[in-house]
Amino acid sequence: MTRKVVILTLILFAVVAAGGFYIFRLLKRRAAASSAVSERLARTRLTEAALQPPGAAASNVQLYFPSFPDGKLVSETRSIKLAATDTDRIRQVLLALIEGSHQGRSPALPPSTTIRGVFLTADGAAYIDFSGKSLAAFDSGIESETLSIYSIVDSLAANIPDVKQVKFLVDGQEVETLDGHVNLTGFFVPDLSLIESGP
């Protein structure tokens, strides 16, 4: 009888220990995932802050985020101290898009997106070079790729008048598509028809 009790206690102990270990691992994994996202966000915000000139007055920046239910872009206003140069302003707008909507809209770009470089030519062509690795988390599809591209193009054109068209590069190279669907080889001009008109 005593032996049975001992065996049962041992089994119970083993089950409880295994369960505890499993829950511990689960919590650890979740914490690691959420800390990775917050670390990326923190880095994005830090870069945003670094670009904001001290003492400058904050301006209202118009950002456009995808709205899947109606296949449109919805605007969101954010107050940012805009930098002095156009290329830094382009970076600021992009970082604000990467940071994501404050009103629960769909993301334009994954939080892991890294900007490798930004160039603006005299004739208003903005070249944006993303890191390919950072775009790996992009949600693929015609609709999602189209809305993401125009959320960038329309946001840049709305806030930096010198930007007339946008060309996307990945790891410094021209790529055929963003994620298998939408053609990235050409220049994109703003498409205001995608912006949702007011209620």
Partner 1 sequence: MGRRANKTNRRRTVTKPRTNVASIAGALALAVLAGVCLASRPARAARGRDHLVLYFPRSHAVLPLETLGRTSYFPLLQLLNLTGNVTGLQEGRKRLKIYYGNTRIQVDANKNLIRLDNVRMKLAAPMRLVNGAWEAPVDFLNQVLPTLTNKTVVYDAHGERVFVGDVKPNTFSVQQTPTEGGTLVRLQFAQPVRVTTAATNGRWIIYLGKHPVEPVHSSYQFNTPYLESLRFDDQDGLPKLIFTPGAAGLNFYPKLAQGGTVLDAEIAKPGVTPTIQPMIPSSPPRAAQAAPAPSSPPSAQASAPASPIPSPAPIAPAPSAAPNLPAVVLDAAGGGADAGAQGPNSVLEKNLTAQLVARVESLLLATGRFRVILTRAGDADPSFNQRAATANAAAPVCFVTFSAGDLGAMTPRVLVFTSQATAPISAPPSDPLFVPWRSAQQPFIARSQQLAQAVDGRLQKIFGVSTLSPQTAPVRVLESIQAPAIAVEVGSLDPATNPSVLTNANFQQQVANAVASGVEAYAGIQGAP
Give the binding site for partner 1 (CB under 8 A).
66, 68-71, 106, 139-146, 149, 176-177, 179-183, 185-186, 188
State the nearest-atom distance from the C-beta of 7 to partner 1, in Å: 26
Q: Report the alpha-carbon distance of residue 59 to residue 174 in Å, rounded.
A: 33
Q: How far is the CB of 183 from partner 1 (least distance, A)?
A: 4
Q: Which is nearer to partner 1, 110 or 124 (CB)?
A: 110
As measured in angstroms, the least distance from the Cβ of 107 to partner 1 is 11
Residue 13 or 22 with smaller CB distance to partner 1 = 22
Residue 7 vs residues 45, 52, 152: alpha-carbon distances, Å: 56, 67, 65
Cβ proximity to partner 1, 121 vs 183, nearer residue: 183
Q: Tell me whether residue 62 or residue 106 sits nearer to partner 1 (CB atom).
A: 106
Q: How far apart (Å, rounded) are the C-alpha atoms in residues 175 and 183? A: 8
Minimum distance of partner 1 from residue 100's CB (angstroms): 15
Q: Under a CB-based contact definition with an 8 Å cutoff, are residues 166 and 128 in contact?
A: yes
Burial class (CB in 10 A: 0-12, 13-18, 19+), 164: middle
Tell me which amino acid residue 127 is.
Y
